[in-house]
Amino acid sequence: MNLVYTDEAIEDLKRLREFIAAHSPLVASRIATELVEKISLLPEFPLMGVQVKLAPVPDSIRDMVFGKYVVRYSVHSSVIIILRVWHELENER
């Protein structure tokens, strides 16, 4: 199963890293690495996130929570699409 990031998800990861780096570049690097490592598990465990109940097809859109971060993704037969990434204190995307 392939893993694809939307442009929005890539921008989210950049934004989060820049925000954290303003306080601690070392922590920003660690969190970015951990998020990408966690996301890389999705092709092997695509249902590890919880269903987004308000999605048109709830089983296809899921949220994986990692610490204080939420990764929203879409599951398809041959691909997982990372839709958005945000901190829990941000408004839901």
Q: Considering the entire predicted model, what is its pTM?
A: 0.90
* Beta strands across the sheet bearing 69-75: 2-5, 79-87, 69-75, 61-66, 50-51
- pLDDT tens for residues 18-32? 999 999 999 999 998
User: What range does the domain containing 83 cover?
Assistant: 2-87
Backbone phi and psi for residue 75, each to the nearest 5 degrees, phi listed first: -105, 130
What's the pLDDT score for residue 39?
96
* pLDDT (0 to 100) of residue 56: 85
Q: What is the CATH number of the domain that holds 73?
A: 3.30.2310.20
Distances (CA, A) of 56 to 28, 44, 71, 85: 34, 24, 18, 20
- What is the domain count for the chain? 1
Is 16 inside any structural domain? yes
- pLDDT per position as a tens digit, 47-64: 999 999 988 887 789 999
